[in-house]
Chain A
Amino acid sequence: MNEVALDLERLRQEIGEVPDPEVPVLTIADLGVLRSVEEVAGRVVVTITPTYSGCPAMSHIAERIAAVLDMHAVEGEVRTVFSPAWTTDWMSDDGRRKLTEYGIAPPHRAPAGDVLVAIRPPVHCPRCGSADTRLVSEFGSTACKAHYSCRSCSEPFDYFKEL
């Protein structure tokens, strides 16, 4: 492995550690928002993809990445791509575990087919593990979450909704 390749790998690690400002327990690597870190014509190109079209965290994440590049005096840029579209299926197992520990139920596999007839498996309460939960609202405190409530322990909780 040559020197450039080594540096890129280290840079990828470090950029991957940038936290999601809305769910700080997750990094952009956990989320799958970080798509690639490559060298193109002597410059480093970092490619990210938004979780939602209007995700207000994207510009913040891009700034944090640029700061990492700056810190290492690396010439580069951050690019945003929409395709392939982000899906919660990209979330790492580590990310799912961290979410549950944080009190947010991790996402199911993304549904396919007719959205109106899709059967949704039960969401388990991240606190007590019960499957006896109910959807309070399709939307929660941020675009990526839905709001649930647990019938067993009576606690409200967020579900990182599958997309």
Chain B
Amino acid sequence: MTTTTTTPLITFLLRTADDNLVLAQRLGALLARMPELEEDIAVANVCLDHLGQARSLYAHAAMLEGLGRSEDDLAMLRDERQFLNATLVEQPDVDFAHTIVRQFFVDAYQVPFYDVLCGASDPVLAGIAEKAMKEARYHLRRSATWVVRLGDGTEESHDRTQAAVDLLWRYTGDLLALDEIEETLVADGVLPSLDGVRGVFDATVASVFAEATLTLPTDPYQRLGGRAGVHTEQFGHLLPEMQRLYRSHPGARW
């Protein structure tokens, strides 16, 4: 299948949908493996929210595309280079601290991001965002609480959480990066300006990390490229596992 994304809006919808789907895939793989029952249930619910957001966004992209592809086709039949998620969400669950820090960065980004999308001129996208923002706010409440509990917890939990921050921070730039796709959508009046998202994200991270006694890495390096389909090695393992069933049994239905 070739790349058939034809408009900036469809590309933008796929970027946002892919963030949610890939994160949901990571979270789904944690079911029955979390450190306590309550967290197992929490991760299942957060996973379901992200999956639901992805489905709505894919369905809308498929409709705008008008090529007869379904939401499942978009999720399951695109290849690695056609996935446009930020590389942060494909990073593996090294330990509970990595799972929580990854989630916290996503939540701190999605709250202001969806807030902007609520003002999209496309009423379907605005509606999806309005719904998703409420969920993101709730996710942030949980992940921020955990970041503080782990960071300001024992020496062990602090060190593991700091290690997760040191590793994952370099992928947050991918979440926040804006290129000609967003610039076009803003210029055309499809989206309000996304310039304020980074400031809110930075303020959330700063206030939670201060309480959690965590620090950001001094190395400014950011690994970008996910929005253009250039992924990290980890994604090469995740994608076939996610798509194998669908591709092995074309047309199969529940």
Contacts and interface: CB of A to CB of B under 8 A. Distances in A.
Interface in A38-90: 50, 52-56, 81-87
Interface in B45-60: 45-46, 48-53, 55-56
B78 interface: no
Contact of B138 (A50, A83, A138, A147): A138
A4 interface: no
Interface string B137-150: 11011101100000
Contacts of B128: 53, 82
Interface string A135-150: 0111111110001000
Given A53-B49, A161-B138, A82 B38 contact: no
B137 A115 contact: yes
A50 B134 CA distance: 12
B143 to A, nearest CB: 10
Nearest to B43: A139
Interface string B104-127: 000000010000000000011011
Interface class of chain A by DSSP: loop
Contacts of B45: 139, 142-143
Interface size class of A (residues with CB under 8 A): 20 to 34
Contacts of A53: 49, 52-53, 55-56, 128, 131-132, 135
A52 B55 CA distance: 12
B134 A83 contact: no
Interface residues of B, number: 37
Interface centre among B53, B111, B134 (most CB of A within 10 A): B134
Given A52-B52, A115-B111, A161-B138, A136 B38 contact: yes
B140 A139 contact: no
B48 A139 contact: no
A54 B53 contact: yes
Interface of B: 38-39, 41-42, 44-46, 48-53, 55-56, 111, 123-124, 126-128, 130-135, 137-138, 140-142, 144-145, 204, 207-208
Listed from nearest, the 8 A-B pairs whose CB atoms lie closest are A54-B52, A53-B52, A83-B127, A82-B127, A137-B38, A54-B48, A139-B42, A85-B130
Interface of A: 50, 52-56, 81-87, 115-116, 136-143, 147, 161, 163
